[in-house]
Structure 1
Amino acid sequence: MAACIFCKIIKGDIPSFKLFESERVFAFLDIQPLAQGHALVIPKYHGAKLLDIPDEQLAEVMPVAKRIAKAVGAENYNILQNNGRLAHQIVDHVHFHVIPKPNEKDGLGIGWPAQETDMEKLKEYFKEVKAKM
């Protein structure tokens, strides 16, 4: 995609602090980090959401994220991937954040608004989802 900022970074049209590159994956430091070592791991295949990316283009992403977490010395960290504006996705190219969490202040801060569960509704939902897999 000609207008995609991440595609431009992959092509070298926009400079980056490249950490890793292979045939299918590109990883670089985030320029607006939540903590030192905050990196992005992206498939070179362009797709806005995870479901847009063929499985073989994703196969190397998690191993690279793992290598980066180890290389930056992150004992505690988040791996984050958002899909769509309501899920806080800003750049329309699939990307995985590796965000070190060195202390309470730095890194990703999140809430987890858990809801009460109706077990019968959950069982029915499970059957529907399982049938689609």
Structure 2
Amino acid sequence: MDDCAFCRIVDGGRDVYTLFEGERTLAFLDENPATAGHSLVVPRDHVEDLLLADEATTTAVFRTARALALAMDRALEPDGFSAFHTTGGLVGRVEHAHLHLLPRYADDDIRLSLSRGSLDDTRPESIAESLRSSL
């Protein structure tokens, strides 16, 4: 897609600090990092939702993320990792599926928190039945 920033990166039309180039994926440093080493893993094909993409694409992205996390662990010695993917209106400015991989450090000041309720407040029986029948 001509107007997709990540498609331009995949096609070589934008310079990035490339970490990995595979047949189905590309990994590079985020240009607005939350931590040192914050990276993005993207499928080479334009897809908007990683979790709804074909199985080969999703598998390739997560395999690349795993390999990158192992490399980060050796090279950067983080205290842990955060990995996340969002879709739809939550994706932000780029509607090309991507997985954020952030090496985490005890003093990184990142707060990824969820407002939580109680499972009993969410109709668990009907939700579970609906999901099981959709599998």
* TM-score between the two structures when normalised by the length of structure 2: 0.87
- The aligned runs of 1:15-34 (5 Å cut-off) are 15-34=15-34
- Call closer, same or farther: CA 1:91–1:120 in 2, change over 3 Å: closer
| Match of residue 108 from structure 2 | 105
Distance 1:75 1:43 in 2: 27
From 89, 93, 97, the counterpart of 2:92: 89
Farther off after superposition, 36-45 or 54-63: 54-63
Q: Mind listing any 5+ residue stretches in structure 2 that lack a counterpart? A: none
Among all aligned residue pairs of Structure 1 and Structure 2, give the percentage whose two residues are the same amino acid.
27
Q: CA deviation at 1:9?
A: 0.3
Which amino acid letter does the alignment assign opposite residue 112 of structure 1? L
Which amino acid letter does the alignment assign opposite residue 114 of structure 2? W
Distance 1:15 1:119 in 2: 48
Distance 1:67 1:75 in 2: 17
**Contact 1:26 / 1:41 at 8 angstroms: preserved in 2?**
yes
Question: What is the total number of aligned residue pairs between the two structures?
Answer: 131
- 1:31-82: CA deviation from partner (whole Å, max 9, x where unpaired): 1000001000011111112355211112211121112122122340101101
**RMSD over aligned Cα, in angstroms?**
1.8
Q: Which is richer in helix?
A: 2
**Contact 1:75 / 1:102 at 8 angstroms: preserved in 2?**
yes
* TM-score between the two structures when normalised by the length of structure 1: 0.89
- The aligned runs of 1:37-56 (5 Å cut-off) are 37-56=37-56
Partner SS state of residue 40, structure 1: strand
Q: Mind listing any 5+ residue stretches in structure 1 that lack a counterpart? A: none
- 1:18-37: CA deviation from partner (whole Å, max 9, x where unpaired): 00011100000001000001
- 1:71-99: CA deviation from partner (whole Å, max 9, x where unpaired): 122340101101122x3533100000000
**Are residues 1:80 and 2:84 paired?**
yes
